[in-house]
Amino acid sequence: MAKFMVLAFTNPIAGKEDEYNDYYDNVAMPVYEGVPNTKVLGRYKALDMKSYEFAMENQWKYVSLYEIEADNIDDHFKEVWEYIEKAKAEGRYQFNEFIDKSTVFEPVFVKMVD
């Protein structure tokens, strides 16, 4: 099985940071922790600093990290969306209305060497 890393970079809507964080802590993370073959590694808030002087400016306030083990990442994401849809139908999940959708960046990486 291959290992993948998903980094979900997000920002709250201006003036809605408390609501944004409350949603993640009390709605999203409990649901995401139940996604099969997915390990929630945590949420992080960016510091106002650069590791290198030549590095680009950070555009995001928050990142969530997820490790996935799957034979086929496309099939895994189909399962994720089925799981999320079930959670929605059960009233346990809805998309975070406090995310600035114009800034969402969610790259997926595959582990190169074990």
2-110: CATH class: alpha beta
Average pLDDT of the residues of the chain? 95
Q: Is the pLDDT of residue 100 over 90?
A: yes
Domain spans in the chain, listed from the N-terminal domain onward: 2-110
What's the confidence (pLDDT) of residue 114?
Answer: 74
What's the whole-number mean pLDDT along residues 96-109? 96
What's the confidence (pLDDT) of residue 102?
Answer: 97
Please calculate the CA angle 18-96-99 and round it to the nearest 5 degrees.
65
* Structure confidence at residue 110 as a pLDDT band (50, 70, 90): very high
